[in-house]
Structure 1
């Protein structure tokens, strides 16, 4: 694949994720019944409730922590080079939260990230601070790793995922979840379709589950595979009901990440449909939307995303995202070349 096509797919991952995030912003934490009561079926950017616990005051189309942290991680990856700079990453997250508070936002660091950073500030080494982080914060922001790392060799991709998880989400469940999403994005950037990306994700989740501190919970690879099969061939309304009732839409990795892959299946790989389905699920709609539409976007490319919807996004600079996508793809191409050299 040429560089321009790879950048288009990298942009698809990042901007697709932003679309899913922004569409789910007003409906996060609400029940499906409450979403239906307020909005009918969400199919466009809408305003949150005036008293929404985290989204109040945000304009329709505004991205949240999911997108902002993904772009932040991408920038840290670029400046870190081959060895991920944990101190820089943790400090960037702290600076980000201070900025978010200054802006008056209520969508702050998630539970696992917050606990880990508090521990680091108390002197706990970064590699130990993330030993209890099992929620979906790592998976929601991992797309830049999938852009930067080629799908082969898979162990290198999963190792890079684990490295970026260490300070906040150093658990088997979180690493498996993030590895699944990164592998799907990487497959998409390499030219794969959404079905191939989902297959890659299951294999990566199996590898990721062997890393980090073991924590109890359903096996991520098995749950992704099960969730995909559960909704295959179902109508959108039946698919949503199955995800809500059986897969779950909470912040636990073993709910929201398999849910995102189920959404990808229901949407048939269409990024905007993935965003719409996610926004109507209830629960952690913005994160499920960011993951599902980001993976779909990696498999379709930016040029095939709905440009009118992209124009409605707020709090995101498309030119900055394009520059980041180009930097990540440059790093990816260098890794691919060095891998070929080593194999020769």
Structure 2
């Protein structure tokens, strides 16, 4: 029987995988095309042959979002909870090479450029990595599982280190901080109302710590995203307004606020969240992975639908219990310092 801490961590990791796999078939398609092709997605489906991002995947299989998250988890566990960019970069690059990610259409532009440079022997410190896409945020859930509540400045520094192999921009670090911090607080059994109220200030602190882009304020976009959901009369209107007003693209300034909005729309229920994200349009698998990881962190692994969990286990053959046990041990060590 897992401990309460292990349950929350496993909930975050299964939530990541659930949102990713549920959103995979509709990845990078417009809302209108998703409706025309699928009607309504409420179960695991294989990637359609004509979806150039999803065509490689079978039903219930996770994508690069969770693969990179697991690479980060492996690096954190290997280093006994220390955040070591070179080790993280090596684990992500190893996955990319083993999965032929450079040849397939499964890497985002920032990650692909950075990983190609690492493949050529570049030093992470020498890379600019000023991209504004969501590669760091989509994989950050294990870091949120590892890091207990701590001074925000230290938390941001840890996220920046973990992000640096592929993303160093102010907005990328801010977006990854928002997702990791929400997961960390959920595991610490803080309520969603407390978490979402604090997120704009967390985003602002992270974005302003080291300015590298002219990105809009993530804090303002988060507030707008939450207000959009609260003012919508029904789910379909909320989905349409998130898609049209907040945006659901691969840029951090769109996808992270959209993910936070989806947590709110789903009332933090992970299975509902994964389904809603799959039907949102745009970067559905990444938004689903981020949002559903937060929901799982809040409620624990018991909140994941047993049939969904069984299918995820059968298709992906991961030992999530081993990950949650190791990350719980390392989190407790950090809490004891």
TM range (shorter): over 0.9
Distance 1:300 1:323 in 2: 19
Query: How many angstroms does 1:57 deviate by?
Result: 4.4
Distance 1:37 1:53 in 2: 17
Residues 275, 331 of structure 1: CA spacing in aligned structure 2 closer, same or farther, 3 A cutoff? Answer: same
Query: How many angstroms does 1:269 deviate by?
Result: 0.8
Asked if structure 1 preserves the Cα contact closer than 8 Å seen for 2:114 and 2:166, the reply is: yes
Match of 2:158 in 1: 160
- TM-score normalized with structure 2 length: 0.94
Asked if structure 1 preserves the Cα contact closer than 8 Å seen for 2:229 and 2:264, the reply is: yes
Query: How many angstroms does 1:107 deviate by?
Result: 4.8
Match of 1:256 in 2: 255
Residues 5, 28 of structure 1: CA spacing in aligned structure 2 closer, same or farther, 3 A cutoff? Answer: same
Greater shift in the superposed pair: 245-254 or 121-130: 121-130
Note the 1:137-216 alignment, pairs <5 A. Answer: 137-212=135-210, 214-216=212-214
Residues 130, 315 of structure 1: CA spacing in aligned structure 2 closer, same or farther, 3 A cutoff? Answer: farther
Residues 128, 201 of structure 1: CA spacing in aligned structure 2 closer, same or farther, 3 A cutoff? Answer: farther
Query: How many angstroms does 1:74 deviate by?
Result: 0.9
Distance 2:330 2:37 in 1: 45
Match of 1:115 in 2: 113
Residues 106, 117 of structure 1: CA spacing in aligned structure 2 closer, same or farther, 3 A cutoff? Answer: closer
- Superimposed CA distance per residue, residues 278-322 of structure 1 (whole angstroms, 9 cap, x where no aligned partner): 11111100000000111111001101111111112254334x221
Residues 334, 308 of structure 1: CA spacing in aligned structure 2 closer, same or farther, 3 A cutoff? Answer: same
Tell me if 1:245 matches 2:239. Answer: no
Distance 2:11 2:156 in 1: 21
Residues 130, 197 of structure 1: CA spacing in aligned structure 2 closer, same or farther, 3 A cutoff? Answer: farther
- TM-score normalized with structure 1 length: 0.92
- Superimposed CA distance per residue, residues 64-110 of structure 1 (whole angstroms, 9 cap, x where no aligned partner): 111111111011012223542222222222211121128x9835332
Unaligned runs of 5+ in 2: none
Distance 1:192 1:38 in 2: 39
User: Match of 1:312, SS?
Assistant: helix
Match of 1:342 in 2: none
Residues 21, 82 of structure 1: CA spacing in aligned structure 2 closer, same or farther, 3 A cutoff? Answer: closer
- Superimposed CA distance per residue, residues 94-140 of structure 1 (whole angstroms, 9 cap, x where no aligned partner): 211121128x9835332111111233345543124243122100000
Match of 2:228 among 227, 230, 241: 230
- Superimposed CA distance per residue, residues 184-227 of structure 1 (whole angstroms, 9 cap, x where no aligned partner): 00011001222223234333212211344511211112211220
- Superimposed CA distance per residue, residues 10-61 of structure 1 (whole angstroms, 9 cap, x where no aligned partner): 0111101111100100000111111111111111112222222021142211
Asked if structure 2 preserves the Cα contact closer than 8 Å seen for 1:22 and 1:63, the reply is: yes
Distance 1:230 1:56 in 2: 33
Instruction: Give RMSD over aligned pairs.
Output: 2.0
Match of 2:283 in 1: 284
- Superimposed CA distance per residue, residues 146-188 of structure 1 (whole angstroms, 9 cap, x where no aligned partner): 1111122222222110111122111100000000000100011
Match of 2:316 in 1: 316
Greater shift in the superposed pair: 264-273 or 86-95: 86-95
Residues 130, 201 of structure 1: CA spacing in aligned structure 2 closer, same or farther, 3 A cutoff? Answer: farther
Greater shift in the superposed pair: 304-313 or 258-267: 304-313
Residues 57, 73 of structure 1: CA spacing in aligned structure 2 closer, same or farther, 3 A cutoff? Answer: closer
Distance 1:161 1:279 in 2: 27
Match of 2:85 in 1: 86
